[in-house]
């Protein structure tokens, strides 16, 4: 219990005692953590959990992003990426073009492809089945992380088939995990402003419940730095924790910093280091039952993502060759990070880099991955 003695802040010390005794921390604790200025004590607790779960290992991936279309029926106010069908920048990738891009990325050594796109009214489910089969034909062991809960719900409605059948068909064609996007913030008050036509938070959770029941592991995301309050964030975290208690299907929690450029929503302001640290560390401590916490360097910048490795984060994201979505909203990071660059970020945080995919198949056996 040595680390408890290092904590000066009484409230954080009582939170740490719960952590040491495997007692889930409360909503009030989460609110405190999201607003405290005592980031060093907060970070000590988050790092304690991170080390208990993952030792000195930090993960990264070598992947590509495949954004197959930016044409989307919903045109959410928060989105800088989507277009109408006749817009100048609108695109829809043909299966041959996807084939070409995957072959090129495979030559560069990727392990995983991460597929998301807009809700295109003319695409039947066979487009996605063929896409996945062609990708698997190029590299049978490539790991496919495909489509958000919003896309699955849309595929079911458009094709008039049950959601379970959509999952089954796309799993048969090659999907192995879900990226977890589209959660945004569950608060109906905020969601009605930032993404009024998108499925509700409760529908997002219900699609994820179905995915987990079908055997798929998924991420869960949270979009922060727009119109949400700390109470909205706590409520979002709680709903994820509750579903995880029920299904155990979330592998990774991924907070996403909102970038407001080219959207109809103003970002609150540039986040400060304290804002990001509080959010990540509080998430690590509150979500005791979700094994991984990922800080996408592409959203946060490489320096902040690296620092967060000591504030609860165990995964720094991947190379993301050809990322389009966050860059459309003004992210200033490059759209590709090399493997040596990611390994260096981890090494210099005094951690051991381990290359992995979204399913973490290579997690070392001695590490306790499933519960805190
Ligand atoms: S956020 Fe997703 S669903 Fe909304 S407009 Fe953009 S691509 Fe479409």
Q: In whole angstroms, what separates CA 289 from the centre of its chain?
A: 16
Beta bridge partners of 114: 65, 145
d(CA 149, ligand 1 centre) in Å: 12
Q: Sorting pLDDT into bands at 50, 70 and 90, what band is 366?
A: very low
Q: Tell which CATH classification among 3.40.50.1220, 1.25.40.10, 3.20.20.70, 3.30.70.2700 matches the domain 2-355.
A: 3.20.20.70
d(CA 295, ligand 1 centre) in Å: 22
Q: Is residue 150 within 6 Å of ligand 1 at its C-beta?
A: yes
Q: Which of 80, 84, 119, 120 to mutate to test the pocket of ligand 1 (most atoms within 8 A of CB)?
A: 119
**Residue 348 phi, psi (nearest 5):** -75, -10
Q: Which of 79, 84, 123, 152 to mutate to test the pocket of ligand 1 (most atoms within 8 A of CB)?
A: 79
| SS3 state of residue 103 | helix
Q: Which tens digit of pLDDT belongs to each residue from 114-154?
A: 999 999 999 999 999 999 999 999 999 999 999 999 999 99
**Does residue 358 have a pLDDT over 50?**
yes
Closest-lying ligand 1 atom to the alpha carbon of residue 150 = 3
Span 323-343, average pLDDT? 68
Q: Is residue 174 within 6 Å of ligand 1 at its C-beta?
A: no
pLDDT score recorded for residue 262: 86
Span 234-242, average pLDDT? 98
> What is the distance between the alpha carbons of residues 316 and 146, in angstroms, rounded to a whole number?
20
**Does residue 217 have a pLDDT over 80?**
yes
Q: What is the mean pLDDT of the chain?
A: 92
pLDDT score recorded for residue 365: 46
Span 338-356, average pLDDT? 94
Q: Sorting pLDDT into bands at 50, 70 and 90, what band is 329?
A: low
- Which residue blocks in the chain are alpha helix, DSSP H? 10-20, 27-35, 39-54, 95-107, 125-138, 149-159, 163-173, 188-194, 201-213, 230-247, 273-286, 297-300, 302-308, 325-328, 339-347
Q: Find, among 320, 370, 319, 365, the residue nearest to 345 by Cα.
A: 319
Reported pTM: 0.94
Q: Which tens digit of pLDDT belongs to each residue from 183-198?
A: 999 999 999 999 999 9
* Domain ranges, ordered by start, for the chain: 2-355
């Amino acid at each position: 219990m040595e680390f408890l003695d290092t904590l000066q802040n009484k409230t954080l010390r009582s939170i740490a005692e719960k952590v040491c005794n495997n007692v889930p921390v409360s909503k009030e604790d989460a609110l405190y953590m999201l607003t405290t200025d005592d980031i060093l004590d907060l970070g000590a607790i988050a790092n304690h959990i991170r080390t208990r779960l993952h030792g000195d290992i930090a993960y990264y991936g070598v992947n590509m992003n495949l954004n197959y279309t930016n044409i989307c029926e919903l045109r959410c106010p928060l989105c800088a990426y989507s277009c109408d069908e006749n817009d100048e920048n609108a695109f829809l990738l043909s299966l041959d073009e996807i084939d070409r891009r995957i072959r090129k990325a495979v030559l560069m050594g990727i392990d995983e492809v991460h597929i998301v796109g807009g809700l295109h009214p003319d695409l039947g489910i066979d487009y996605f089945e063929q896409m996945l089969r062609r990708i698997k034909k190029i590299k049978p062991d490539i790991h496919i992380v495909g489509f958000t809960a919003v896309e699955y719900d849309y595929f079911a409605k458009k094709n008039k088939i049950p959601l379970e059948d959509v999952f089954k068909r796309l799993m048969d064609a090659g999907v192995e995990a879900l990226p977890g996007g589209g959660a945004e913030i569950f608060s109906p008050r905020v969601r009605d402003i930032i993404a009024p036509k998108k499925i509700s938070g409760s529908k997002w959770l219900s699609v994820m419940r179905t995915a987990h029941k079908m055997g798929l592991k998924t991420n869960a995301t949270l979009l922060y730095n727009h119109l949400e309050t700390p109470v909205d964030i706590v409520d979002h975290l709680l709903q994820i924790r509750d579903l995880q208690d029920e299904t155990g299907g979330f592998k990774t929690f991924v907070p996403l910093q909102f970038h407001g450029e080219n959207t109809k929503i103003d970002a609150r302001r540039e986040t400060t280091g304290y804002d990001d640290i509080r959010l990540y560390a509080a998430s690590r401590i509150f979500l005791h039952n979700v094994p991984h916490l990922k800080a996408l360097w592409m959203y946060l910048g490489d320096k902040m993502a690296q620092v967060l490795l000591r504030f609860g984060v165990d995964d720094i994201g991947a190379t993301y060759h050809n990322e389009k979505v966050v860059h459309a909203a003004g992210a200033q990071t490059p759209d590709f990070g090399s493997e040596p660059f990611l390994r260096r970020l981890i090494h210099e945080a005094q951690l051991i880099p381990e290359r992995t995919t979204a399913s973490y198949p290579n997690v070392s056996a001695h590490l306790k991955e499933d519960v805190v």
